[in-house]
């Protein structure tokens, strides 16, 4: 057991790509936690997808020694979709290192993460990173931090995580400024699980922070919310390799393996205590995040449905911020309606399901949660457009709104205002953080943000603007349900809820794409976009046609006409009994997110 007075628990928080993972690498090197021969970039990023994309998705923890102090370090994600990972990590800490890029200054997520740390009453150690870059302007950035966040410029450290310059001074500042954890080693055990992963050989591996008491290997433990009792088979710390220890005392961060096979028992926010001497009450857990974006996930091969269910269950233990429930589609069969925190989160979950569990999936177009007031004065919420009641039963539809913060160089104000207004956004405030940088706050419908708003924002500002958002209630809007009919039959997989002003453009775009994707039949196939009973766009897949006149050379025209009429009658009869088979490729291509 380590003396709590010599422990410091910190998280590294920053905007995306401001150097969190690189700083973690330097700290691992400087403290000798990783041998120089085994060192690699993004050492703590364990997922293959994190390495490919160069972003952190899962928060990772590691124990290092600096002088006589034990530092528990948690490297957190920077992207707004993974803010839930950050808030869970902060609950296991007493302090944070706030990194700001010296060349780019304060970004949207810098503000969000800083306010999150203040909400948790954590000590903030601010540091300017990338001072080795030619474009770095540490004096201006330090002044900006002092003005916006109120952290004195004299207390802000200057480092280069890439070269290691200033990192020893940062570790000294952490030891000096961040308070040591408190806790009674003799009190009943109370430890908070802040992350869990599923290992197919050992069951659930939980990351936990001991608040009170002592966790011992071999002891009987109780999971307070789940109400189950297990034996602590192994307790250990990450150095960064998993290393078993005999016990963990107050303030220590480590991992627990207790042979838990049911993935629902060891959720994040669960309190671990002793079975024979339990704590009086569970620790404050986490407020579970509400999904903002929904889509249907269906296996390409219907026989994989059970595999998809098991895979979602295991992945949800590792990422408790997405939800799923079974749903069926006439076109796609059995699948799940899944809820995510954002579009990147949705892409990552889908890609992890395909890579880690070997599944082949179709994802429907993303939608959001609508609140519908019926003519009977009752209110319902729907996450799937196909679940929308008939128009004659709907009194009004309210859509979820976002309050978005855009921080950008002031030269792009015009193009950003144009982008936000075309997406039905209304300006709340505009604030100059400095003569060169401005913060725009808009209220905008979530449905307008989920498709390609972030991509447009980046391309219109050459990558300089940053975005942060938070939910901001619901607002009644003129929304309609758009159905796609193929040969007069509605196809639920293509159904969407869109604003009336955008319905024609969206319907025209989709029917045009489907006309290219659906193979020709022996009869004409109409593809229509409809609002209620009104058709607003149509394309036709022309019929294949056999040349019945091939043997007719010369002769009376009535003979040719007779053959053509006979062919037409046959096609008409076939059309009455003919069903159109829509190939899987058409669904995959038409429902691609980047349309």
Kindly report the CATH number assigned to the domain that includes residue 197: 2.40.30.10
Q: What is the pLDDT of residues 230-274, one digit of tens each?
A: 888 889 888 877 889 988 888 888 888 888 876 667 777 778 888
Lowest mean pLDDT among 172-181, 198-207, 394-403: 198-207
Domain match, 151 and 200 both: no
Kindly report the CATH number assigned to the domain that includes residue 141: 3.40.50.300
Domain contains 279:
no
Residues present in the chain in total: 595
Per-residue confidence (pLDDT) for residue 426, from 0 to 100: 92
Indicate the residue among 224, 239, 274 that finishes a domain: 274
Domain contains 281:
no
Domain contains 254:
yes
The CA distances from residue 8 to 195, 341, 345, in Å, are 19, 31, 31
| 89 annotated as ligand-binding | no
For the chain, counts of helices (H) and of strands (E):
14, 31
In the three-class reduction of DSSP (H, G, I as helix; E, B as strand; rest coil), residue 280 is classed as coil
Domain contains 526:
yes
Kindly report the CATH number assigned to the domain that includes residue 447: 3.30.70.240
Domain match, 73 and 142 both: yes
Ramachandran angles phi, psi of 236, nearest 5°: -160, 180
Domain match, 164 and 194 both: no
For residue 505, cis peptide bond before it (omega within 30 degrees of 0) = no
Q: What is the pLDDT of residues 110-126, one digit of tens each?
A: 787 788 888 888 999 99
Half-sphere exposure of 173 (CA within 13 A, CB side): 20
Domain contains 201:
yes
User: Among residues of the chain, what percentage have pLDDT more than 90?
Assistant: 8
| 301 annotated as ligand-binding | no
Q: Assign residue 395 a region (left: φ > 0; alpha: ψ between -120 and 50; beta: otherwise).
A: alpha
Task: Give the confidence band of 176 by pLDDT, cuts at 50, 70, 90.
Answer: very high
Domain match, 345 and 493 both: no
Kindly report the CATH number assigned to the domain that includes residue 329: 3.30.70.870
Domain match, 155 and 60 both: yes
Domain contains 287:
no
**Whether pLDDT at 332 is above 50:** yes
Domain match, 450 and 495 both: no
The CA distances from residue 289 to 263, 373, 433, in Å, are 19, 25, 30
**Whether pLDDT at 444 is above 80:** yes
Lowest mean pLDDT among 395-399, 405-409, 545-549: 545-549
Q: Which two tokens stand for residue 470?
A: 């938070």
Token look-up 């936000």 returns 420
| 19 annotated as ligand-binding | yes
Domain contains 516:
yes
Domain match, 11 and 143 both: yes
Domain match, 457 and 527 both: no
CB 475 within 8 A of CB 482: no
Domain match, 407 and 423 both: yes
Please name which of 71, 73, 79, 67 lies closest in space to residue 24, comparing C-alpha atoms.
Answer: 73
Report pTM: 0.69
Task: Give the confidence band of 571 by pLDDT, cuts at 50, 70, 90.
Answer: low
- How confident is the model over 358-380, as a mean pLDDT? 86
| 166 annotated as ligand-binding | no
| 132 annotated as ligand-binding | yes
Q: What is the pLDDT of residues 78-102, one digit of tens each?
A: 555 555 556 667 777 889 999 888 8
Query: What range does the domain containing 548 cover?
Result: 481-590
Lowest mean pLDDT among 38-52, 86-100, 296-310, 462-476: 38-52
Domain match, 517 and 576 both: yes
Burial 250-272 (b: 16+ CB within 10 A, else e): bbbbbbbbbebeebebbbbbbbb
Q: Assign residue 88 a region (left: φ > 0; alpha: ψ between -120 and 50; beta: otherwise).
A: alpha
Q: Into how many domains does the chain fold?
A: 5
Q: How far apart are CA 158 and CA 169, in angstroms?
A: 9
Q: Which two tokens stand for residue 111?
A: 């503000």
Q: Which two tokens stand for residue 379?
A: 């209110």
- The strand pair at 234-238 and 242-245 is best described as antiparallel
Q: How far apart are CA 291 and CA 312, in angstroms?
A: 15
CB 170 within 8 A of CB 157: yes
| 130 annotated as ligand-binding | yes
Please name which of 381, 409, 382, 501 lies closest in space to residue 448, comparing C-alpha atoms.
Answer: 501
Indicate the residue among 307, 336, 366 that finishes a domain: 366
CB 468 within 8 A of CB 111: yes
Please name which of 47, 12, 49, 85 lies closest in space to residue 320, comparing C-alpha atoms.
Answer: 85
Q: Which 8-state DSSP code applies to residue 529?
A: E
The CA distances from residue 550 to 446, 553, 557, in Å, are 58, 8, 14
Higher pLDDT: 430 or 559? It is 430
Spatial CB neighbours of 225, under 8 Å, sequence gap ≥ 6: 267, 269, 270, 271, 282, 285
- Residue/partner pairs of 226-235 with CB below 8 Å, 24 or more apart: 226/264, 226/265, 226/266, 226/267, 226/270, 228/260, 228/262, 228/265, 229/275, 230/258, 230/259, 230/260, 231/258, 231/259, 232/256, 232/257, 232/258, 233/257, 233/258, 233/259
The CA distances from residue 281 to 195, 207, 253, 471, in Å, are 20, 20, 21, 31
| 131 annotated as ligand-binding | yes
Domain contains 280:
no
CB atoms under 10 Å from CB of 338, counted, come to 25
Kindly report the CATH number assigned to the domain that includes residue 583: 3.30.70.2570
Indicate the residue among 213, 243, 274 that finishes a domain: 274
The CA distances from residue 306 to 46, 240, 297, 299, in Å, are 27, 35, 13, 10
| 55 annotated as ligand-binding | no
Domain match, 39 and 151 both: yes
Q: What is the DSSP string of 173-240?
A: HHHHHSPPP---TTSPPEEEEEEEEEETTTEEEEEEEEEES-EETT-EEEETTTTEEEE--EEEEESS
| 360 annotated as ligand-binding | no
Domain match, 415 and 269 both: no
| 38 annotated as ligand-binding | no
Q: Which two tokens stand for residue 382?
A: 């729907």
């Amino acid at each position: 057991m380590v003396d709590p007075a010599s422990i410091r628990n910190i998280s590294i928080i920053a905007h995306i790509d401001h150097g969190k993972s690189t700083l973690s690498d330097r700290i691992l090197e400087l403290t000798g936690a990783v041998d120089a021969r085994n060192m690699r970039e993004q050492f703590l990023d364990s997922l293959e997808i994190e390495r490919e994309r160069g972003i952190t998705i899962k928060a990772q923890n590691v124990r290092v020694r600096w002088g006589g102090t034990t530092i528990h370090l948690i490297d957190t994600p920077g992207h707004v979709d993974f803010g839930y990972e950050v808030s869970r990590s902060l609950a296991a800490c007493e302090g944070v290192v706030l990194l700001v890029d010296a060349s780019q200054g304060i970004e949207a997520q810098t503000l969000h993460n800083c306010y999150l740390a203040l909400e948790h009453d954590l000590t903030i150690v601010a540091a300017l990173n990338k001072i080795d870059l030619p474009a770095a302007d540490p004096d201006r950035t330090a002044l900006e931090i002092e003005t916006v966040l109120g952290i004195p410029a004299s207390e802000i450290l200057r480092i280069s995580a890439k070269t290691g310059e200033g990192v020893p001074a940062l570790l000294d500042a952490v030891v000096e400024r961040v308070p040591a954890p408190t806790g009674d080693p003799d009190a009943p055990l109370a430890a908070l699980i802040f992350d869990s992963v599923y290992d197919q050989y050992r069951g659930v591996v939980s990351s936990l922070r001991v608040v009170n008491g002592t966790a011992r290997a071999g002891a009987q433990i109780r999971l307070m919310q789940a109400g189950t009792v297990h034996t602590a088979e192994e307790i250990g710390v990450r150095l960064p390799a998993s290393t078993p220890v005999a016990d963990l005392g107050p303030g220590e961060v480590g991992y627990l393996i207790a042979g838990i096979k049911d993935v629902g028992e060891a959720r994040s926010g669960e309190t671990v205590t002793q079975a024979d001497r339990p704590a009086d009450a569970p620790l404050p857990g986490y407020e579970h995040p509400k999904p903002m974006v929904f889509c249907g996930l269906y296996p390409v091969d219907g026989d994989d449905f059970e595999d998809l269910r098991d895979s979602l269950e295991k992945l949800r233990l590792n990422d408790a911020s997405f939800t799923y429930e079974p749903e069926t589609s006439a076109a796609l069969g059995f699948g799940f309606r899944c809820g995510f925190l954002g579009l990147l989160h949705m892409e990552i979950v889908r890609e992890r399901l395909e890579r880690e569990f070997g599944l082949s999936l179709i994802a429907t177009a993303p939608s959001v949660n609508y609140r519908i007031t019926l003519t009977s004065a009752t209110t319902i919420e729907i996450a799937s457009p196909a679940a929308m009641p008939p128009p004659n039963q709907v009194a009004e539809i309210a859509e979820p709104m976002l309050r978005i913060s855009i921080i950008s160089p002031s030269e792009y104000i015009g193009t950003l205002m144009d982008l936000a207004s075309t997406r039905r956004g209304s300006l709340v405030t505009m604030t100059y953080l400095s003569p060169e940088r401005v913060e725009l706050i808009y209220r905008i419908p979530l449905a307008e943000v989920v498709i390609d708003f972030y991509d447009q924002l980046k391309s219109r500002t050459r990558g300089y603007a940053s975005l942060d958002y938070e939910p901001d209630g619901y607002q009644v809007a003129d929304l309609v349900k758009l159905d796609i009919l193929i040969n007069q039959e509605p196809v639920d997989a293509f159904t969407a809820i869109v604003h009336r002003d955008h319905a024609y453009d969206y319907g025209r775009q989709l029917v045009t794409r489907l006309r290219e994707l659906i193979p020709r039949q022996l009869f004409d196939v109409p593809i229509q976009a409809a609002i209620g009973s009104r058709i607003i766009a149509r394309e036709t897949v022309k019929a294949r046609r056999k040349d019945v006149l091939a043997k007719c050379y010369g002769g009376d025209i009535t003979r040719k006409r007779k053959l053509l009429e006979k062919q037409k009658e046959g096609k008409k009869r076939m059309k009455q009994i003919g069903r159109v088979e829509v190939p899987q490729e058409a669904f995959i291509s038409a429902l691609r997110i980047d349309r």
